[in-house]
Amino acid sequence: MLFQKIWVFLKRDFLTASSYKFAFFWDAAGIIGVMLTFFFISELFQNTQAPLLEPYGGNYFSFVIIGVAFSTYLGSALGSFGGQIGMEQGIGTMEALLMTPTKISTLFLAGSVWNILFTSIRVAFYLLVGIFFFHMEVKGVNFLALTTTLVLSLIPFISLGIISASFILVFKRGEPISFLFHGASKLLAGAFFPVAVLPLWFKKLSMFIPLTYSLKALRGVLLTQSTWQDIGPDLFILLLFSLCLFPLSVASFKYGLKVAKRQASLVHY
Amino acid sequence: MSCSIEASNLTKIFKPSKNIFSLRSPTAKTIAAINQVNLTVNKGEIFAVLGPNGAGKTTLIKILCSLIIPTSGTAFINGYDVVKNEHKIKSLVGLVIGEERSFYWRLTGRENLEFFGVLHNLPLRQVRKRIETVMELLKVEDPDRRFQEYSTGNKQKLALGRCLLTNADVIFMDEPTKSLDPGVASRLRQFIKEILVQKENKTVFLATHSIQEAEELADRIAIMDKGLIKTCVSVSELTDGRDSLLDMFKQCTRT
């Protein structure tokens, strides 16, 4: 039954997204625009020594595209759940969904599949365009290590997304999680530059951000053929983030739902 | 006769939200949306709650469907507590919302029903068969057109169709004929009475502000105003010729 539920959600989201055909075009154009920007920045520094990039293979373009591409997972997970709730409240389908005997956790899981799939396609598009058109250097990838890193990164990202959705349920707009984690993560976790560039107290803050460990492990797997031993400590910390954040997110969502039902504000937006 | 819906001292109070950052003094008052409501609805009965706008009808329905938590009091559907057994309640009840925004406008009628049918734990193959039956029964026009292109009558039929897919025992309807033309409204009422109740023995709980609709459909009618149930009469009492429903409504809702 779970697979059929995931299937109908996928079908709903695909049909809705594909009915806005022009949006697909501009999304792809946006990705190419970002890549061109970083390509030319990287060209600017091509012949200069950047010792802080050495642990990542030394090529800034490859470094930054991985940072930009994979941090979209965080943005997508953070926006996905809150966005889904906001959308259902806005278009008026929230009560109809909650009137079904499907568990909230299933609604969330099934409802997020399209977003994760679509983000994966965007990430693959980034990498493929980077490799084939901008000479991005990706070396002997261990796909099992890559998948494990992605899964262990997605759990804390999704948990933060569910906590953000709890705020949307109660306050409708202006949730703080996206602001704190999305913007700050890109700055502190090293999406655009190595964390080593940051001053010490910024570096300390970056240790509390899951994206820091995700990007470190992903760059290791994709750019420098890191072994399981190399990425093991990062995966362990991501696992700890998952174990702490996921139960917290479920509890916060249950509480948010209870408050919204008490306030009779499930359909307000 | 067994009891389908039972509410005892059901109360919902809305307090103004305390915004500590607000510079203005609070103007909103505490409102009792429903106040000490007691009612029982028997299995296979059509029970109408009649009341003006803001009487508390929708709040009452949402509490009985586990969408709002009451401030105090208890309510049971087929013996299950609406607060404690929320999951069970959702497999027992169906809700027909007069709100046309409860569907995905960029999907077709059929795709919408397929989506909600599967979320009601019906296998996809079974949902597809049922959709055919329901579309035929309700005479939904153009099931493969986008919902946004439907007429108001067709949208309302689809709302009823969604509810019929699930075989719910107890059906709640909030203004089911709102904004329908008289012909479609009359056929829908006939369908509710003859098929849903007389043939399939479902319990129907209806909220309306139309006196004609309440009289035409219901076995018993409760008149509600400002969160209180002012009176509850059976249609047979009305036809005995004491007061007309309109007179009673005027008396009960006089400010």
pLDDT value of position B39: 93
pLDDT value of position B1: 61
H helix or E strand, kind and range, residue B5: strand B3-14
Model ipTM value: 0.84
Nearest chain B residue to A260 by CA distance is B68
Mean pLDDT in chain A? 85
Q: Is residue B64 a contact partner of residue B82, using CB atoms and an 8 Å limit?
A: yes
| Predicted confidence band of residue A106 (pLDDT cuts 50, 70, 90) | confident
pLDDT value of position A131: 87
Could you write out the DSSP letters of every residue in B99-136? Answer: -GGGS-TTSBHHHHHHHHHHHTT--HHHHHHHHHHHHH
Pairwise pLDDT comparison (B199 vs B184), residue with the higher score: B199
- Apex B143 CA angle, B142 and B147, nearest 5: 95
pLDDT value of position A196: 87
Query: In the predicted model, is pLDDT for residue A224 greater than 80?
Result: yes
Q: Which of A7, A9, A89, A99 to mutate to test the interface with B (most CBs of B within 10 A)?
A: A99
pLDDT value of position B5: 94
Work out the minimum CA distance from B81 to partner chain A, whole angstroms.
15
In a domain, B64, yes or no: yes
pLDDT value of position B82: 93
pLDDT value of position A172: 72
pLDDT tens-digit readout, A69-96: 888 887 887 777 777 877 887 888 888 8
pLDDT value of position A236: 96
Contact B115/A264, CB-based, under 8 Å?
Answer: no
Question: For B221, phi and psi rounded to 5 degrees?
Answer: -130, 130
Residues 6+ apart with CB under 8 A from A203: A195, A196
Pairwise pLDDT comparison (B206 vs A24), residue with the higher score: B206
| Predicted confidence band of residue B182 (pLDDT cuts 50, 70, 90) | confident
Contact A262/B69, CB-based, under 8 Å?
Answer: yes
pLDDT value of position A136: 81
Query: In the predicted model, is pLDDT for residue A32 greater than 60?
Result: yes
Cα B155 to Cα B134: distance, rounded to the nearest angstrom: 14
pLDDT tens-digit readout, A115-168: 888 888 888 888 888 888 888 888 778 889 999 998 898 888 888 888 888 888
Question: For A62, phi and psi rounded to 5 degrees?
Answer: -60, -40
> Residue with structure tokens 């057109």?
B145
Cα A16 to Cα A10: distance, rounded to the nearest angstrom: 10
pLDDT value of position B170: 94
Contact B106/A100, CB-based, under 8 Å?
Answer: no
Strands B228-234 and B220-225: antiparallel
3-state secondary structure of B81: strand
Share of chain B above pLDDT 70, in %: 92
pLDDT value of position B104: 92
Contact B104/A96, CB-based, under 8 Å?
Answer: no
| Residues of the domain holding B83 | 3-100+167-252
Q: Is residue B212 a contact partner of residue B185, using CB atoms and an 8 Å limit?
A: no
Contact A101/B121, CB-based, under 8 Å?
Answer: yes
Nearest chain A residue to B123 by CA distance is A1
pLDDT value of position B223: 92
> Residue with structure tokens 């909650």?
A98
**Hey, what are B114's tokens?**
């397929």
Cα B77 to Cα B59: distance, rounded to the nearest angstrom: 16
Q: Which of A167, A129, A145, A159 is nearest to A235 (CA)?
A: A145
Q: Which of A35-44, A163-172, A225-234, B8-17 has the highest mean pLDDT?
A: A225-234
pLDDT value of position A170: 80
Query: In the predicted model, is pLDDT for residue B99 greater than 60?
Result: yes
Query: In the predicted model, is pLDDT for residue B110 greater than 80?
Result: yes
Query: Among the listed ranges A3-7, A130-134, A240-244, B47-51, which one has the minimum average pLDDT value?
Result: A130-134
Strands B220-225 and B203-208: unpaired
Residues of A in contact with B83 (CB under 8 A): none
**Rg (chain A; Cα; Å):** 20
pLDDT value of position A171: 78
Residues 6+ apart with CB under 8 A from B101: A91, A92, A93
Residues of B in contact with A19 (CB under 8 A): 106
Task: Give the C-alpha distances (Å, rounded to integers) separating A52 from A63, A191, A197, B231, B232.
Answer: 11, 14, 7, 80, 80
pLDDT value of position B17: 63
Cα B66 to Cα B63: distance, rounded to the nearest angstrom: 5
Task: Give the C-alpha distances (Å, rounded to integers) separating B108 from B5, B7, B104.
Answer: 34, 38, 8
Pairwise pLDDT comparison (B219 vs A53), residue with the higher score: B219
pLDDT tens-digit readout, B210-239: 888 888 889 999 999 989 999 888 887 776
What would the mean pLDDT of A175-191 be, rounded to a whole number? 77
Contact A99/B115, CB-based, under 8 Å?
Answer: no
What is the domain count for chain B?
1
Work out the minimum CA distance from A264 to partner chain B, whole angstroms.
5
What would the mean pLDDT of A1-11 be, rounded to a whole number? 91
> Residue with structure tokens 């954040």?
A245
Beta bridge partners, B206, equal: B48, B173
Measure CA A209 to chain center: 13
Q: Which of B59, B104, B114 sits opposite A16 (nearest CB)?
A: B104
Sheet containing B72-77: order of strands:
B31-42, B3-14, B72-77, B80-81
Q: Which of A15, A100, A266 sits opposite B107 (nearest CB)?
A: A15
Query: In the predicted model, is pLDDT for residue B56 greater than 60?
Result: yes
Pairwise pLDDT comparison (A8 vs A175), residue with the higher score: A8
Query: In the predicted model, is pLDDT for residue B111 greater than 60?
Result: yes
Cα B166 to Cα A144: distance, rounded to the nearest angstrom: 43
Task: Give the C-alpha distances (Å, rounded to integers) separating A186 from A41, A59, A223.
Answer: 18, 19, 20
CATH number of the structural domain spanning residue B212: 3.40.50.300
Query: In the predicted model, is pLDDT for residue A265 greater than 80?
Result: no
pLDDT value of position B123: 92
Cα B3 to Cα A199: distance, rounded to the nearest angstrom: 70
Share of chain A above pLDDT 90, in %: 16
Q: Is residue A137 a contact partner of residue A58, using CB atoms and an 8 Å limit?
A: no
Chain B contact residues (CB < 8 Å to A):
12, 14, 17, 33, 59, 62, 65, 67-69, 87, 90-91, 93-95, 97, 99, 101-107, 111, 114-116, 118-121, 123-124, 162
Query: Among the listed ranges A223-232, B11-20, B112-121, which one has the minimum average pLDDT value?
Result: B11-20
Nearest chain A residue to B94 by CA distance is A99
- The DSSP symbol for B134 reads H
Residues of A in contact with B171 (CB under 8 A): none
Burial class (CB in 10 A: 0-12, 13-18, 19+), A22: exposed
Burial class (CB in 10 A: 0-12, 13-18, 19+), B132: exposed
What would the mean pLDDT of B120-137 be, rounded to a whole number? 90
